[in-house]
Chain A
Amino acid sequence: MSMVKRHAPLLVLAVVLLLLPLVLPNNFYYDIAIRMAINAIIVLGLNLLIGFAGQISLGHAGFVGIGAYASAILPTHFGWHPLVAMVAGAGIASAIAAIVARPIFRLKGHYLAMATLGLGIIIAIVIKNEATYTGGPDGMPVPALGVMGFEISGEKQWYWVLAGLLLFSFWASRNLIDSPFGRALRALHGSEVASQVMGVDVVRYKVAIFVLSAFFASLMGSITAHYIGFVTPNLADFFHSIELVTMVVVGGMASIYGSLIGAVLLTALPQALSTFEGWETVVFGVILMFCMIFMPKGLVPTLAARFGSREQGGD
């Protein structure tokens, strides 16, 4: 792929992110943009697992919760510096992912889905029950994130932090997908047996990408915690896990920019439906079904196939 073609979408994204503040009228819109960016990064990591490697995780919000609560608990109860807590949270999430991944990824299909589901639910229940540390169902406040006395506060500052993180995540994901590691991952999805005989230790790769996506999720959980200033157990619950999977699936599996689109659309949706609480669930469900039946590859790949050439290989 030529240099320009490779970097064009990233440049476009950078330009959009730079110019966006000019059209955002007030903090409310900054807030939505920030939440979209947070979701996009989590979804990016999840997409590497689901779309590119062809696996599934129905409990990913659990990792988001671990990061969020690490950033809440460790500074508050143990006096740790928020940045250290963030790294520790990501470390815990990665460790849990690494431990359960090996046995889990020997399974396929429904079993894999159920195992990840079970993991996510267990994490959510633990968070809800250990009230002395976590504040229980009501949640707990989170101290501000800062370094050397400078604290990130206010929507505008957070916007730039997230814009930078978003660009970095997209750049890093693009690099990963085009690399030998990324090819092995996609080959694994295409044919496990073939990739094995080519020297790909399939289980190790599945574990690696699961851990990586858990790492992304946890970091963004921490960011969310510091941004909102408060954490509640529903960050880690089953519905949140389904929301994340929906974003992957609607935007486009195995599509980096699909992750962005999916996150943007499905973060905006609850805002639009905020007065119709029950309908939010129904609409989500309808969208999921509709997309999976008629556009199983997701929006971006389906549109790309419609208007693109016979060329292939992710985007």
Chain B
Amino acid sequence: MSQFLQFLFSGITVGATYALAALGFTLIYNASNVINFAQGEFIMLGGMLAFFFMQAGVPMPLAILLAITIPAVVGLLLEKLAIEPAHDADVVTLIIITIGASLVIRGLIQVWLGKGAHTYPAFSGNEPFLIGGATLLPQSLWVLGITALVVVALWYFFSRTLAGKAILATSCNPLAAQLVGVNTRWVLLISFALSAALGAIGGVLLTPITLTSYDVGIMLGLKGFVAVVVGGLGSGLGAVVGGLLVGIIEAMAAGYISSAYKDAVPFILILVILFFMPRGIFGAKVTERV
């Protein structure tokens, strides 16, 4: 039982990061129909930048703030410089553009900060809690708590504020949104910035537990995408549920079956989902008019 709980805890913790990444994917997809393969790099940026600033002597709260806002700016740049010029290109083209962007971001960090793994102190110490025979790190609670806060904040933003509804309107029908005065260009920019910030938050929170390095983005991002597919493309609830599910399944499989193949589990999962339930749990149906 305690083993099960242990796997569950670690699964939910990393699952929360996947959920944040998945929310980022969903946000951008809903606003622009683009799957942003660079999403994982924003997670990496969050951790790496937090490390860099703290190491440079910047006080932790400020370092974290910078580690979240700078990726947001990078997200803005990505939209402005790469997505906007190619806005009516086909799916394959856009996918490749975002892959190119992820290479650029990753390569720049590699050149600037090297290939080593880094970390910084957990927010409230390392004294683990003992629950049902399993250990739970305080940092895990931070991850889960902040993620829950973020999800609630997003929900409030999208359902209660005008700005949030404007974004939703754009995702439903950009032309109609424009006609009623929504500045769709701003919506796109904000979506990318917000999505990057979400990823970065996940990265900042997770680093004390899993360390960070220039290439963590690939796997984290891809697994975040798996979460989106599991939960259903375009659904915010699906993103969160999908993220947690992927994290838990991965941890369980690694614990009970084989830890060497831990990384393969999400991809096997995505193939299974794509084969049997391509719309995911909460996804919408799409038909083509001939």
Which residues of A are at the interface with B, using a C-beta cutoff of 8 A?
Answer: 50, 54, 56, 58, 100, 103-104, 106-111, 113-115, 117-119, 121-122, 125-126, 129, 193, 238, 242, 245-246, 249, 277-289, 292-294, 296
Contact = CB atoms under 8 A, between A and B. Distances in A.
Given A111-B229, A288-B100, A281 B110 contact: yes
Contacts of B107: 278-285
Contacts of A118: 226, 267-268, 270-271, 274
Contact of A126 (B101, B222, B225, B264): B264
B130 interface: no
Contacts of B108: 278, 282
B92 A50 contact: yes
Given A245-B96, A279-B107, A125 B261 contact: yes
Given A193-B290, A286-B104, A107 B97 contact: no
A111 to B, nearest CB: 6
Given A107-B278, A110-B35, A114-B229, A288 B96 contact: yes
A249 B288 CA distance: 27
Contacts of B95: 56, 58, 110, 113
Contacts of A103: 274-275
B102 interface: yes
A121 B111 contact: no
A115 B274 contact: yes
Contacts of B111: 278-279, 282
B260 A293 contact: no
B97 A288 contact: yes
B234 to A, nearest CB: 11
Given A281-B110, A292-B86, 7 more contacts: A107-B278, A121-B264, A284-B100, A289-B101, A293-B82, A296-B86, A296-B93
Given A281-B106, A293-B82, A111 B97 contact: no
A292 B91 contact: no
B179 to A, nearest CB: 27
B100 A287 contact: yes
19 contacts: A54-B92, A107-B274, A107-B278, A109-B92, A110-B35, A115-B271, A118-B226, A118-B271, A125-B261, A193-B288, A245-B96, A281-B110, A285-B99, A288-B99, A288-B100, A289-B104, A292-B94, A293-B85, A293-B89
Interface of B: 35, 82, 85-86, 89, 91-97, 99-108, 110-111, 218, 222, 225-226, 229, 233, 260-261, 263-264, 267-268, 270-271, 274-275, 278, 288, 290
A292 B89 contact: yes
SS class, residues of chain B in contact with chain A: helix
Contacts of B92: 50, 54, 56, 109, 113
A240 to B, nearest CB: 13
Contact of A238 (B94, B97, B218): B218
Nearest to B219: A121
B261 A289 contact: no
A105 to B, nearest CB: 11
Contacts of A293: 82, 85-86, 89, 97
Nearest to A109: B91
Given A288-B96, A289-B82, A100 B271 contact: yes
A288 B267 contact: no
B222 A117 contact: yes
Contacts of A286: 100, 104
B171 to A, nearest CB: 16
Nearest to A197: B290
Contacts of B86: 292-293, 296
A92 to B, nearest CB: 18
Nearest to A193: B290
B263 A125 contact: yes
A54 B268 CA distance: 25
A119 B271 contact: yes
A286 B96 CA distance: 11
Given A122-B267, A282-B111, A285-B100, A110 B91 contact: yes
A121 B225 CA distance: 14
B213 to A, nearest CB: 13
Contacts of A284: 100, 103, 107
A287 B268 CA distance: 31
A293 B260 CA distance: 39
B146 to A, nearest CB: 28
A93 to B, nearest CB: 17
Contacts of B274: 103-104, 107, 111, 114-115, 118
Contacts of A100: 271
A294 to B, nearest CB: 8
Nearest to B106: A281
A271 B38 CA distance: 26
A118 B226 CA distance: 9
B261 to A, nearest CB: 6
Nearest to A125: B264
